[in-house]
Amino acid sequence: MSRDISQPGELEAAVLEALWAGEELSTPAVHERVGVPRGLAYTTILTVLQRLHKKGLVKRTEDGRAHVYAPALSRDEFARRRGHTLAAALTGLGEAGLAAFLAEAERLDPAAVESLRARLRSSQ
C-alpha cells in the first residue's frame, strides 16, 4: 500500500473528516454522512473510500458482506506527513521557492513564520 499524502481532493477530505469525527463507519454510513448531503451516488462514496484505502489513508475490515472503514492515520499524523511532503517539495524549489513560501506564509500568519524561523535557527 502506498502512502500518498498528496493534497486530498475536497470529497476525499470530507470523507476523512467524517472518519476522524467518529467511530469506524460502513460504506452506507459514510454515504449517509458525506454523500447524501451533497447529492452523491453511493458508488461515488464507495470509489472515494477505495481510493483512500489504496493510498493507505484508511483501513478497511470486512463485516459480513460489507466493509467498515477507519482512518489509518490520526488527523495530526496526517498533517505531519503532509508537512514533510510539502517541505521536501519546497526544498526542490531552491532558495527562490523557499523565499516565496515564507513571504506567502508571513502574509497569512506572521507568528507562525517567526516560529518556523526560530526552529530553523535552532536546528543549524
60 and 20 part of one domain: yes
pLDDT, average across residues 103-124: 78
- Whether the pLDDT of residue 61 is over 90: the answer is yes
Q: Is residue 1 part of a domain?
A: no
Q: CB of 69 within 8 A of CB of 27?
A: yes
CATH code of the domain in which 36 resides: 1.10.10.10
Q: Examine the domain organization and report whether 64 and 15 are in the same domain.
A: yes
pLDDT(2) > 50: no
Tally of domains in the chain: 2
Percent of the chain residues topping a pLDDT of 90: 50
Match 506572521 to its residue by C-alpha cell. Answer: 110
Contact 9, 17 (CB under 8 A): no
Would the pTM count as exceeding 0.75?
Answer: no
Verify that 56 and 104 share a domain, yes or no: no
Q: Flag whether 4 is in a domain.
A: no
Percent of the chain residues topping a pLDDT of 70 = 94
The range of the structural domain enclosing residue 105 comes to: 75-123
Q: Are residues 45 and 90 in the same domain?
A: no
Measure the CA dihedral 54/65/75/13, to 10°.
70
Q: What is the pLDDT of residue 33?
A: 96
Residues 112 and 94 in one domain: yes
Q: Is the pLDDT of residue 72 over 80?
A: yes
The pLDDT tens digits for 94-113 are 888 888 887 887 787 778 77
Interatomic CA distance for residues 43 and 28, integer angstroms: 10
**Domain boundary residue among 71, 92, 114?**
71
Within a domain: 29: yes
For residues 56 and 37, membership in a common domain is answered with yes
| 60 and 110 within one domain | no
Mean pLDDT value of segment 36-45: 97
Say whether pLDDT at 1 is over 60.
no
